[in-house]
Amino acid sequence: MTRLAYGDAIREGFEYAMRRDPKCFAIGQGLWSPWYVGNSMKDLDKKFGKERVIDTPVSELATTGAAVGAALNGYHPIVVHPRMDFMILAADQIVNQAAKWRHMLGGRVSPTVTIRGIVNRGGEQGAQHSQALHSWYAHVPGLRVLMPATAADARDMLIAAAQSPDPVMYIDDRWCYDLAEEVAPAADVDIRSIKPVIRREGSDLTIAAASYSVALSLAAAELLEKDGVACEVIDVRALNPFDPALIRESVERTGRFLAVDGGWSTCGFAAELVASVAEGVSPAKLKGAPARITLPDAPAPTSAPLEKAYYPTAELIAERVRQMGR
Amino acid sequence: MQFEDKLGYLADPRQLTEALDLKNASTDALVAFYRDMVLIRRTEETIAELYTAKETKTPVHLGIGQEAVAVGVSAHLNSGDRVYSGHRGHSHYLALHAPLTAILAEVMGRATGASRGMGGSMHLFAPESGFHGSVPIVGATIPIAVGAGLACKMDGKGQVAVCYFGDGACEEGVLHESLNFARVMDLPVLFVCENNLYSSHLDIHLRQPSNSVARFAEAHRIESRVIDGNDVVAVSEAAADLIEGARNGGGPGFVEAVTFRWLGHVGPNADIDVGVRRSPEELKQWKERDPVRRLTDALKEARGVDQSRFAEIDAEIETEIADALEAARGSDFPAGNVLIDYVYAGGRS
Ligand SMILES: Cc1ncc(C[n+]2csc(CCOP(=O)(O)OP(=O)(O)O)c2C)c(N)n1
Ligand SMILES: [Mg+2]
C-alpha cells in the first residue's frame, strides 16, 4: 500500500494504462505544460514521448473526432479536456459519434475512446470556466460516465476507461486533487465492476453523491455525528449505466434520502437519484420526502460574495439533514 | 512538419525596434494614441497589482505589449459600431474609452462594474461605448461579431462589427465557418487577429504549419493586411482602409497584427518558464519592440514633442486611474437576489 493523492493517482492511471497497452495514448490541450491540468499529467510526455502524449492546437472538435477515429481504427486514446466548458465544442463527436456508432452500425464497431472532462471551478472564474455537465453526458445512451471521488477510484476508473470496449466519459474534479488515501498496487479493471459503494454506514438517513459531492457529504456526516445523526453516504461512481440497487436498499433501512450533486437542479443527476428512490422504494418505508441539494439554477458568478453563496458546503448539507428530521 | 516562416522580420523581435515611421498622421492624433496606449498599459499594471494584492481572484489575461492594436483600430470606429473580444480584452475595451471605473470595479466583482459585477475580467460589457461583449471561450465571439455585421448590414447605416481574437482562435473550426459566411454574405466585419505567436504555453510553430494566419482570410477571398502590431500607425492605416471598405459595402476585412504579450498567459507574472519555447531571451528582445517607446521616440525626433508633454499626460493618467480605483474600491458587491434575478428576463417565473 502507498499513500496517493487524487491528482497523482490520475497520473498513475495514465502510466499504468499506457504501459500496459501500447495502443493507449493521451491527446489534448496543455499536455506539455507543467500546470494546465494540475499535477495530473506531469511529465507523462517525458516518460512516454511526445508521440504518445500529444499536445494539440486549440481545436476541441477535431482533436476529439481524431481520437474517435483512431479508436475506430484499433487505438485506445484518452482525450483530455482541461475544462468541461471547452469540451462543449466537441459535443458532436462525443454525443452523435462516439456514443452512437456501436448501436447504429449493428454492434460491430467499438469506439474505444476515453474522454476525460475536468471540472475546474471556483476562484472567481465565472460562467464559462466552472461547469459540471456530467448530467448531460449521463443522459446519453452509449456513453459510460464515471466520476471518481477517491484517489483509488481516480486511478482505477481511468484504467477501466482506457480498457473499456465502450466510449467512456471520465470526469475528475480539481477540488478533489489533494484527497489522499492508502492504495493497493494498480491492476486491470473491468468497467462493469464499477458500481455504487457505501463510503460511510449510518442508520438515520441516506445521502447519495458522486465526485467532490461525496467528500462534502462525508464532511457533513461528520458534523451530524456530533448531533447524534448517523448518515449513510453512498458514492455513486458510475452515472451511466446507473445501478440504483444499493441506494434503494439503503433507503429502505434509513427511510430518508438526500441527493447531493455539484450540477444544476433541473433535469440534473440529483433528479435521477431522487427518481430512483421514488420509483424503487415503497412509500411505506419512507419517513419523509426525498430531497436534493444542487447548485442554484444559475450560471456561476464571479463576484466573491456571490461565488461563496453559490457552491454547496458541508454545513449546508448538514443543515438540510437536520431539517429533514429524525 | 515543414514550418513556413511567412512573417519573416515581422516575427523577428530583433527587427522593428526603431522609432516609428509616422507617415502623414497628425501630431494631435499621434499624441492621442500615446495617451490611449499608456492608459491601457497603466490600467493593466494596476489590475496586475490588484491581483497580486489579492484584491481580486478572477483570472486576468493581460495584454501588456499589445496596446497598439486596439488603439489603431479604434481610431476608425464611430458610435454605432460594435466591438467584440475574447479573454484578453482589456485593451479593446479601454481603447473605446469605455469607463475606467467600470472595468476596475468589474475586475473586483463590484455591482458598479461593466457587467454589474457578474463577469469579472473575462466578461466585459459596455455597449454605450461600442464594446458589445467579451467572453473567454476561444473563438466564441467570432460568429457573434459576424451576426452583428449581419445586423449592421440589415440596418443599412454603414456601421461595422469588429472582432478581436488571437492566433490560437484560428485553430477553432468556427473561425473558418465565420470567414466563409461573412464573405458569402458580404458582411461589414473587421476580423482583427492579434497574432502574438503563442496560445498559452505553445508557440505557433507547434500548432500551425505557418506563422501567418492571414492565409485563412485569403482562402475565403477576404482582403487582408499583415502588419507590425506594435506600430500604431501601421495598424491605424490598415484598419482605416478595411473599415472604410466594409462601411461602403465591400464586405469583410482581416487584419493580422503581429505582436507579443509581455506577461504570462494568465495572471500578473512573466511566466517565462511555462512555455515550451518562450524564453527570457525572447521576452527581452520583444520588449525592445515596445509600441509605446517607439511612438514616443518618433514623436520626439520627427515632431519635436517635448518630454514635458508626455510627463503631463502620464500624470493625468495616474490621477485618472487613482480616482477610478478609489471609486471602484468604494463600491458595493452585487446585492439582493441577482444570482437568480439575472437568469431570465423578469426573474424566474
Ligand atoms: C474553446 C476553448 N478552448 C480552450 C480554451 C483555453 N484557452 C484560453 S485562452 C487560450 C489561448 C488562446 O490563444 P490565442 O487565441 O492566441 O490568444 P492569446 O491568449 O494569445 O491572446 C486557450 C487555449 C478556451 N478558453 N476556450
Ligand atoms: Mg496568441
B103: which chain A residues are within 8 Å (Cβ-Cβ)?
A: none
Least confident of B245-254, B271-280, B301-310: B271-280
Would B44 be classed as within a structural domain? yes
Q: How confident is the model at residue B346 (pLDDT cuts 50, 70, 90)?
A: confident
User: Nearest CA to CA, how far is B21 from chain A (Å)?
Assistant: 36
Ligand 1 first shell, C-beta below 6 A: A 29, 58, 60, 86, 89; B 87-88, 136-138, 165-169, 196, 198-200, 265
Q: Where are the alpha helices (DSSP H) in A3-43?
A: 6-20
In this structure, are residues A117 and A239 in contact, taking their beta carbons and an 8 Å threshold?
no
Nearest to A56 by CA among B202, B90, B124: B202
pLDDT computed for residue B347 by the predictor: 79
A216 and A209 in contact (C-beta within 8 Å)? yes
Whether the pLDDT of residue B273 is over 80: the answer is no
The 10s digit of each residue's pLDDT in A260-296 is 999 999 999 999 999 999 999 999 999 999 999 999 9
Chain segment B106-116, per-residue pLDDT in tens = 999 999 999 99
Find the residue in B nearest to A35 (Cα). B274
For the segment B117-133, the average pLDDT, to the nearest whole number, is 98
Contact A191, A160 (CB under 8 A): yes
How far, in Å, from the CA of B161 to the mean position of ligand 1?
21
Tell if the CB–CB gap between B57 and A123 is shorter than 8 Å: yes
Whether the pLDDT of residue B274 is over 80: the answer is no
Measured between alpha carbons, how far is residue B147 from residues B150, B153, B156, B244, B298 in Å?
Answer: 5, 10, 14, 19, 39
**A174 within 8 A of A187, measured Cβ to Cβ:** no
Share above pLDDT 70 across residues of chain B, in percent, rounded to a whole number: 98
Q: What contacts B339, CB < 8 A, 6 or more positions away?
A: A296, A298, A301, A306, A309, A310
Give the C-alpha separation, B208 to B211, whole Å.
Answer: 7
- In angstroms, the separation between the Cα of residue B192 and the nearest Cα of chain A is 18
- Residues A139 and B78: their CA atoms lie apart, in Å, by 48
Window 202-231 of B, Cβ < 8 Å to A: 202, 206-208
Q: In the predicted model, what is the mean pLDDT of residues B311-329?
A: 98
How does A234-260 read in b/e, with b if 16+ C-beta sit within 10 Å? bbbbbbbebebebbbebbeebbbbbbb
Ligand nearest to the CA of B134: 1
Contact B146, B161 (CB under 8 A): yes
Residue B92 vs residues A26, B68, B69: alpha-carbon distances, Å: 37, 10, 8
Q: Is residue B335 part of a domain?
A: no
Ligand 2 centroid distance, CA of B198 (Å): 4
In sign, the C-alpha dihedral spanning B314, B315, B318, B319 is negative
pTM over 0.90: yes
Q: Which is more confident, B279 or B267?
A: B267
Residue B170 CA, closest ligand 1 atom number: 15
H/E stretch holding B147 reads helix B141-155
Summarize the confidence of residues A290-318 as an average pLDDT: 97
**How many cross-chain Cβ pairs, A to B, lie less than 8 Å apart?**
116
Check: CB of residue B143 under 8 Å from CB of residue B185: no
Does the structure show a pLDDT above 80 at A49?
yes
Task: List the CATH number of the domain containing B194.
Answer: 3.40.50.970
Residue reference for cell 459585477: B117
pLDDT of residue A270: 98
Confidence band (pLDDT; 50, 70, 90) for B276?
A: low
Binary contact (A303, B202; C-beta < 8 A): no
- Of A50, A58, A84, which to mutate for an interface test with B (greatest number of B Cβ within 10 Å)? A58
Residue A199 is which amino acid? R
> Does any domain span residue B298?
yes
Q: Which of A264, A239, A255 is nearest to A204 (CA)?
A: A255
d(CA A212, CA A192): 22
Interface touch B110/A303, C-beta < 8 Å: yes
pLDDT of B275 strictly over 80 = no
Instruction: Specify the number of domains making up chain B.
Output: 1
Write down the pLDDT at residue A35.
Answer: 80
Q: A58 and B207 in contact by Cβ < 8 A?
A: yes
Chain B residue closest in CA terms to A125 = B58
How confident is residue A227, by pLDDT bands cut at 50, 70 and 90? Answer: very high
The percentage of chain A sitting over the pLDDT mark of 70, rounded to a whole number, equals 100
In-domain check, residue B120: yes
Q: Which of A31, A84, A86, A89 to mutate to test the pocket of ligand 1 (most atoms within 8 A of CB)?
A: A86
Residue A171 has pLDDT above 80, yes or no: yes
Q: How many CB atoms lie within 10 A of CB B336?
A: 8
Interfacial B residues in 121-150 facing A (CB < 8 Å): 122-123, 135-139
Q: Domains plus CATH for chain A?
A: 2-193 (3.40.50.970), 197-324 (3.40.50.920)
Question: What domain range is B264 assigned to?
Answer: 19-268+291-324
Chain B CB contacts of A30 below 8 Å: 200-201
Q: Which atom of ligand 1 is nearest to the CA of B167?
A: 16
Cite the DSSP H helix spans in B66-108.
67-74, 90-94, 100-107
- Checking if the pLDDT of A213 tops 80, the result is yes
Q: CA of A81 to nearest chain B CA: how many angstroms apart?
A: 13
Summarize pLDDT for B197-208 with one digit per residue, the tens: 999 999 999 999
User: Is B282 domain-assigned?
Assistant: no
- Model confidence over A110-157: pLDDT tens digits? 999 999 999 999 999 999 999 999 999 999 999 999 999 999 999 999
Test A126 with B120 for CB contact under 8 angstroms. Answer: yes
Lowest mean per-residue pLDDT among A4-8, A57-61, A83-87, B333-337: B333-337
Measured between CB atoms, does B201 come within 8 Å of chain A? yes
Is residue B305's pLDDT more than 70? yes
Mean pLDDT taken over chain B = 96
- How does pLDDT run across B136-159, given as a tens digit for each residue? 999 999 999 999 999 999 999 999
Closest CA to A120 of B232, B327, B59, B132: B59
Mean pLDDT of B92-109: 98
What is the structure's pLDDT at B272? 63
| Identity of the amino acid at A298 | A
pLDDT of residue B278: 80
Enter the C-alpha cell of residue B226.
499583415
Q: What is the ipTM of this complex?
A: 0.96
Question: In which band, very low, low, confident or very high, does the pLDDT at B348 lie, cut at 50, 70 and 90?
Answer: confident
DSSP calls for A206-263: EEEE-THHHHHHHHHHHHHHHTT--EEEEE--EEES---HHHHHHHHHH--EEEE-SS
- Whole-number pLDDT of residue B128: 98
The verdict on residue B310 lying in a domain is yes
